[in-house]
């Protein structure tokens, strides 16, 4: 669908790193707001991040942590959420996990292709969320084609994966997740959420709470509780947490929040959850031998 | 410490499979009660089992699931708990995870060496739990030496790991876990439990509840809840669950239980836990945007 980007395309237009609530691209896009000069090759395995996308009947929830590392002696903070928003037309949220150099390059290519004044379909011009997923997949494969053989020489693989969701005018809410090979699956009523990265610690509460008819309020709480469980057990998943909620057919984002370490709401949620779980545990029946 | 077992030693004395509550070796040992003719090469990855050992001040808890598989089309049931008990002298519990052919061979070698009337130190004759761990490690390495090159030809590795715990007269309670390479670590007050296999789903509740001073009653409930969470999320961990609790200085096992599918206590625990967690969730504060 698209040609492989040349080296010049990949390295051009890198600007200073800006971290906001998510990394937003305004109206038409065009600015590259979350790409910085990354001088170190910060390698991040798929287990070293945590991203969740939830597809409800009436809304969607997206959240990502911000920790990356290249070994325990080299932690850093990068936004893993990218928003493509054109109010009244489309809201697309991408959550990245995997090798940071790879995921950043994919996002960069998506943005540059979105800015290009050519006829090649891009994230701003395609008509369905399925085609958005195809555009992301194409970008992944282009980067993989460029980088894979060089990674191999250090026994690394190109391991990016994305959660892609949102709505384009005239379409329903849709949620996808890509695999490292660039193929992807779509969520449905039976499986209304996707997790990438360090998914296991936070999955039990998601399994218990999330259904397509869960309220947005409850789904948001649940996603944050699943982050709390994950961060408690895996140091390589860390604050801040970027959270976006999107209401069906609004075609704009009005609920965004970044939870920094020490955030009063998140701290209260974590404490009350801990106490509630302990209280529930205390009430369990005792085994009679 | 011990020579590599010959092929004859490894294949002799295999008897019909007997599944009890754990797989117990009486007084001096000598009977091989949990080894059967295993005609299929049931390969089991490290993530496809769940075992927990807990070291409390006053007691220990051990539990293991019973599911093995070689692909989703080939599930089977095998006991992963082996008990070496000589009342008044020692209680040693082994929980196995990893490739089933490998773990069974290690247990078989440990039993045969325990039966041998020679001067080579074995699980019945060593004087400390540390030496028990060394004996297990030696058996692992012997099996690895024998099998590894053959597994390599199918791109498999020898991936057995064991949780080893109990008490020998004159010693405190001690708990170890081995790694695939045969080296091992010992639990202490800071880390009073070990998990092997599919550990992540069940770890959050263990992290919240288990400390060295947790009561045996609570630790037992907690271990079972962690099995419930794990089985809910990973089909390759399954009933029955073998559970053993050991009280300090008793030097005999009086609390053993096997939880079959549909066990009334386990079912009630699972249901009440689910309801309690949901109730705790409902009480959490709502995010104000």
Residues of B in Cβ contact (< 8 Å) with A276:
279-281, 283-284
Cβ–Cβ of A284/B225 closer than 8 Å? yes
- Span B63-92, average pLDDT: 87
CATH number attached to the domain at A7-274: 3.60.20.10
pLDDT digits (tens, 9 = 90+) for B198-210: 888 999 899 989 9
A:13-72 residues touching chain B, CB 8 A cutoff: none
Residues B190 and B149: their CA atoms lie apart, in Å, by 38
Which secondary structure element, helix H or strand E, spans residue B85, and what is its range?
strand B81-86
The mean-pLDDT minimum among A42-51, A102-111, B59-68 falls in A42-51
Residues of A in Cβ contact (< 8 Å) with B200:
200-201, 233
pLDDT at position B157: 79
Per-residue pLDDT at A275 exceeds 50: yes
Which secondary structure element, helix H or strand E, spans residue B165, and what is its range?
strand B161-168
Per-residue pLDDT at A258 exceeds 90: yes
Query: Best of A281, A283, A285, A286 to disrupt the B interface by mutation (most B CBs within 10 Å)?
Result: A281
> Between residues A224 and B72, which one has the greater pLDDT?
A224
Minimum distance, in Å, between the CA of residue A221 and any CA atom of chain B? 7
Question: Does the beta carbon of A284 lie under 8 angstroms from any beta carbon of chain B?
Answer: yes
Per-residue pLDDT at A42 exceeds 60: no
Residue B90: C-alpha distances to residues A219, B83, B238 (Å): 51, 10, 30
| Model ipTM value | 0.78
- Span A24-50, average pLDDT: 40
Per-residue pLDDT at B10 exceeds 50: no
Per-residue pLDDT at B61 exceeds 50: yes
Query: Best of A253, A284, A286, A288 to disrupt the B interface by mutation (most B CBs within 10 Å)?
Result: A284
pLDDT digits (tens, 9 = 90+) for A71-113: 667 777 888 999 999 999 999 999 999 888 899 999 999 999 9
Per-residue pLDDT at A38 exceeds 90: no
Every domain of chain A and the residues it spans: 7-274
Cβ–Cβ of A277/B280 closer than 8 Å? yes
Residues A273 and A222: their CA atoms lie apart, in Å, by 10
Strands, E assignment, chain A: 23-25, 50-55, 59-64, 67-69, 75-77, 81-86, 90-97, 161-168, 174-178, 184-186, 193-197, 241-247, 255-259
- Span A217-244, average pLDDT: 92
Question: Does the beta carbon of B7 lie under 8 angstroms from any beta carbon of chain A?
Answer: no
> Between residues B234 and A243, which one has the greater pLDDT?
A243
pLDDT digits (tens, 9 = 90+) for B157-200: 788 899 999 999 999 999 999 998 999 999 999 999 999 998 88
pLDDT at position B149: 87
């Amino acid at each position: 669908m698209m040609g492989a980007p040349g080296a010049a395309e990949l390295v051009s237009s890198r600007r200073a790193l800006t971290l906001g609530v998510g990394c937003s691209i305004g109206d038409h896009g065009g600015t590259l707001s979350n790409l910085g000069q990354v001088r170190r090759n910060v390698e991040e395995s798929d287990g070293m991040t945590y991203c969740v996308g939830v597809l409800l009947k009436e809304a969607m929830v997206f959240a990502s942590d911000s920790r990356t590392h290249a070994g325990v002696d080299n932690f850093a903070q990068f936004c893993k959420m990218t928003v493509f928003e054109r109010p009244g037309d489309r809201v697309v949220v991408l959550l990245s996990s995997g090798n940071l150099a790879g995921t950043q390059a994919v996002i960069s290519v998506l943005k540059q292709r979105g800015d290009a004044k050519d006829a090649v379909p891009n994230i701003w011009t395609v008509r369905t969320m399925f085609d958005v997923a195809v555009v992301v997949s194409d970008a992944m494969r282009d980067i993989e084609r460029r980088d894979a053989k060089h990674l191999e020489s250090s026994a690394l693989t190109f391991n990016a994966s994305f959660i892609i969701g949102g709505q384009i005018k005239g379409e329903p809410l849709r949620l996808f997740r890509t695999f490292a090979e660039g193929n992807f699956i779509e969520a449905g009523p039976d499986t209304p959420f996707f997790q990438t990265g360090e998914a296991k610690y936070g999955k039990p509460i998601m399994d218990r709470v999330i259904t397509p008819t869960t309220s947005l309020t409850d789904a948001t709480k649940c996603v944050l509780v699943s982050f709390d469980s994950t961060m408690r057990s895996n140091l390589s998943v860390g604050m801040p947490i970027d959270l976006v909620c999107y209401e069906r057919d609004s075609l704009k984002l009005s609920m965004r929040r970044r939870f920094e370490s020490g955030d009063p709401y998140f701290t209260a949620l974590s404490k009350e959850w801990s106490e509630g779980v302990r209280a529930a545990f205390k009430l369990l029946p005792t085994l009679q031998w």
